[in-house]
A = this chain, B = another copy of it.
Amino acid sequence: MPEAEPPTIEALAEALAAGEEDRAAALIPELHPADLAALAGTLDEETWKPFFSALDQETLAEVFEYLAASDAEKALEQLPQTRQQEILEELSDDELVDLLQEVPSPKQEQYLALLSDSKEAVSRRLLRFSETSAGGRMTTAFATLHEDMTISEAIEALSEISESTEILSRIFVVDERHRLLGKVLLRDLTFNPRSTLIKEVMDDDTLAIDSLADQEEAANMIARYDMVALPVVDREARLLGVVTHDDAIEILAEESTEDIEKFSAIAGTHGEEGYLQTPVPMHFRRRFFWILPLALLAILSGVVIYNYEHVLNQVYLLVIYLPMVVAAGGNTGSQSATTVIRAMALGEFTPAAVVRVVWKELRIGLLLGGLLGLCVALVVQFFMPHFIEVPPEVSLRNVAMTVGLSLTGQVTSSTLLGAVLPILARSVHLDPALVASPAITTLVDVTGLVIYLGLAKALLGI
């Protein structure tokens, strides 16, 4: 018997690409549904269909739990109605609602009609929440008990749903109006005498989130309090659902990606689709949004240089260090903007700390600018003359001083601006990341040019 191939996602991808259906079918049962779902996200048109046909109904249902909503929709469309029905019915309600939110209205109604009455009702209720709210992210897979039950009654009530692991890690105690009173752990039921009342073993922790709150707030609470599941309540404190730790990881990853993208002048929200799945026009739109205004803004820098024509005409050598002064300001400005924005995003300080931040960045900026100015001035004075001839009428020492001092001034002011602008933005409830790197870079370019060319004029006596 030949040795079995080690079951890896790469091997499966190869088998699918080569059209070897038997080999693919042998590998699939050995792989985790999460890995299969991730693979689906990277497949192209030709291998997509054979892959999904090779999955049996049970595996397919498991894979659907991990698929991005857009991939799930694409996969669902290719299935016959009976298989669609089974998949939709088995899907956990939060994943189901994600998928339904993705599809156009008529299709949504068609899928809803396939569901059992109870599942349809839950889905319609969940669909009313915004996709990005805590309510839009929650699942209704949880169990409730009442205070006056005994453990034995509770276990009997729960045993009907004992098949669902998920639910049993989320047992809440509610009053007659379904308001959250606390939670019970399965271990409290397992390791206490059966006649004990629930109210004696329950934990009266009612930490919860409003269903209309932003999903990011829910994720931050889960992260902050190390929770496995965060209860979601309505305005009357009635328990509606839970947001779980795995959703928190997903939400935080999406938010981090969006932050990183904003720092790189990419606009809009990051969809659930991966890079390869996102169509070119969508990539284009998100990038072009910032590129045109930033380009027009950069003409300002050009106009400044244009207006200093007489300075550059007299000492054209100055042009050599011009891009550097400009770039150093942009780089240090975006460093401090990034640091400050990220610290605010992680809740490390609020705009009230602005004085402490300014004092800190002022010292950092002076250190950075001072040392950089000194290093570069030495390079200009002693190293560069080996490569670039200095006209005899130009004082090399004064050029070196101009470069060094303007670097110090430019870096210090950029560092301060980079820190202060995001705090200002935040204090007037704008997204600090909107004023981040590229916009700040373009702005400080102008200050850099004015400092450098103005200083040159003064020091070189032009």
Chain A residues within CB distance 8 Å of chain B: 32, 34-35, 38, 41-42, 66, 155, 158-159, 162, 165, 168-169, 185-187, 189-191, 207, 222-226, 228, 245-246, 248-250, 252-253, 256-257, 259-261, 263-266, 274-276, 280-281, 283-284, 287-288, 290-292, 294-296, 298-299, 301-303, 305-306, 309, 316-317, 319-324, 326-328, 331-332, 334-335, 337-340, 342-343, 346-349, 353, 356-357, 360, 363-364, 367-368, 371-372, 375-376, 379, 384, 387-388, 407, 411, 437-438, 441-442, 445
Contacts and interface: CB of A to CB of B under 8 A. Distances in A.
Given A246-B223, A372-B292, A343 B302 contact: no
A320 B298 contact: no
A222 to B, nearest CB: 8
A266 B338 contact: yes
B252 A291 contact: no
Given A228-B228, A252-B252, A276-B356, 16 more contacts: A186-B187, A186-B190, A226-B246, A260-B260, A260-B338, A263-B338, A264-B335, A280-B363, A284-B364, A287-B332, A287-B368, A288-B367, A299-B320, A302-B321, A303-B320, A323-B326
B368 A295 contact: no
Nearest to A186: B186
The copy count of this chain in the complex is: 2
A144 to B, nearest CB: 16
Contacts of A301: 323-324, 327
Contacts of A246: 223, 226, 245
Contacts of A303: 320, 387-388
Nearest to A299: B324
A33 B365 CA distance: 36
Given A226-B34, A280-B367, A295 B168 contact: no
A185 B165 contact: yes
B302 A320 contact: yes
Contacts of A324: 295-296, 298-299, 301-302
B186 A275 contact: no
CB-CB nearest 3 A-B residue pairs: A275-B343, A302-B320, A256-B256
Given A34-B224, A280-B360, A306 B317 contact: yes
A442 B327 contact: yes
Nearest to A380: B299
24 contacts: A32-B207, A42-B353, A165-B185, A165-B187, A168-B187, A223-B250, A223-B253, A245-B246, A256-B259, A261-B338, A261-B342, A264-B338, A265-B334, A266-B335, A275-B340, A288-B368, A291-B328, A298-B323, A298-B327, A299-B320, A299-B323, A323-B445, A327-B445, A334-B438
A194 B16 CA distance: 47
Contacts of A305: 319-320, 322-323
Contacts of A438: 331, 334
A328 B328 CA distance: 17
Contacts of A283: 339, 360, 364
A265 B331 contact: yes
B334 A284 contact: no
Residue of A276, A280, A317, A319 contacting most chain B CB atoms (<10 Å): A319
